Structure 1
Amino acid sequence: MNGIRICRTGAPDVVAASDGRLTLSVPIQIKRRSGRKLVTLPNGEAAESRPWDVAATPMQLALARGHRWLAMLESGEAKSITELAAREKIDNSYMCRMLNLTTLAPDIVAAILDETLPLGVGVHELAISPPVLWAEQRKRIGVVGEELPME
């Protein structure tokens, strides 16, 4: 069994052995970019970035913070919002607003993650006193009577 060999130069090649095995030679170049490895194709182009390599938006970070803090409260890791806010060194009201994001309708959460919220909708519209009913949440951001499009 042949091992993997990384060549930096050359052209792709296929070599057939007499016993029917094929050896495929694919030249690649690996570069380190911002702490991650990037595969460069033979023509010099970089491969497309993966979704998890793209930085999160402020709205996505706010949603993640809210869910993380809710999990800490539900697990008993923190006894109250006040205790958790002190531990995280943030204001109680900010923490409460981020926790409000955990009550959003699933299609609104998906729109945050997919970056497909209607223009002009920010954390303020979603996090400050969100309506309990999902239909009212949709109405507040201008999507009346139907769910946000999901792909």
Structure 2
Amino acid sequence: MSDIRIQKTGASDVIASSDGTLTLTIPIQIKRRSGRKLVTLPNGGIAKARPWDTAATPLQLALARGHRWLAMLESGETKSLREIATLEGIDSSYVSRMVNLTTLAPDIVAAILDDALPNHITLFDLAIDPPVLWEEQRERVKYA
């Protein structure tokens, strides 16, 4: 059976007992940051965060909203962008701009999800009147 104890001090150590169990001592600290627990390593660094622990960027959230709203339209859950705007309590032009993001080239979408777009590219650049052709979208973004 596992038994985890957190001690404030100590060095790394492995102790074998006569009953065959091992006691492993690892000097770590658990700190709270923004309501989450993080493991602090002996060298003072913080253990690598899991991908799902990082907050989504505004562009990623906008892309997700656009796809969700498009799915609502395609499934028949709503009849129009105006109805979605009413349900969400937001402006219908905002809804249409976010739905525009669903027409972006796959490599641009991947760059948004990987947070790899240059800092000068804004949501406005991508959502307002995006070109229909993917090559023209790539020229506008100029991240390649």
TM-score by length of 2: 0.82
Equivalent position of 1:134 in the other structure = 134
Shift of 1:119: 4.9
Q: Could you tell me how far 1:14 is from its partner in structure 2?
A: 0.3
Rounded Cα–Cα distance in structure 1 between residues aligned with 2:77 and 2:47: 42
Q: Shift of the alpha carbon at 1:93?
A: 1.0
Tell me the number of residue pairs that the alignment of Structure 1 and Structure 2 aligns: 144
Over the matched positions of the two proteins, sequence identity in percent amounts to: 70
Comparing 7-16 with 45-54, greater Cα deviation is found at 45-54
Matched, 1:124 2:97: no
Kindly indicate whether residue 23 of structure 2 is the aligned counterpart of residue 16 of structure 1: no
Q: Aligned ranges for residues 48-127 of structure 1 at < 5 Å?
A: 48-127=48-127
Indicate the residue corresponding to 2:45 in structure 1: 45
1:43-82 Cα deviation digits (max 9, x unpaired): 4433234443333322222112212222222333322211
What is the DSSP-based 3-state SS (H/G/I as helix, E as strand, rest coil) of the residue aligned with 2:116?
coil
**Which of 8-17 and 91-100 deviates more?**
8-17
**CA shift for structure 1 position 105:** 0.8
Alpha-carbon distance change, 7 to 66 in structure 1, aligned in 2, over 3 angstroms: same
- TM-aligned CA distance change 1:118 to 1:5, over 3 Å: closer
Match for 1:61: what amino acid? Answer: L
From the superposition, tell whether residues 11 and 59 of structure 1 become closer, same or farther in structure 2 (CA, over 3 Å).
same
Say if 2:3 is the partner of 1:3.
yes
Structure 1: stretches of 5+ with no match in the other structure:
none
Once structures 1 and 2 are overlaid, which stretch shifts more, 98-107 or 133-142?
133-142
SS in 1 for 2:62: helix
RMSD: 2.3
Task: Quote the offset at 1:139 in angstroms.
Answer: 2.0
1:90-142 alpha-carbon deviations (Å, 9 max, x no partner): 11111101001011111001111223224532222211222222112112223
Q: Which runs of 5+ in 2 are unaligned?
A: none
Q: Secondary structure at the match of 1:84?
A: helix
Deviation of 1:20 (Å): 5.2
Determine the C-alpha separation between the residues in 2 that align with 1:44 and 1:130.
Answer: 46
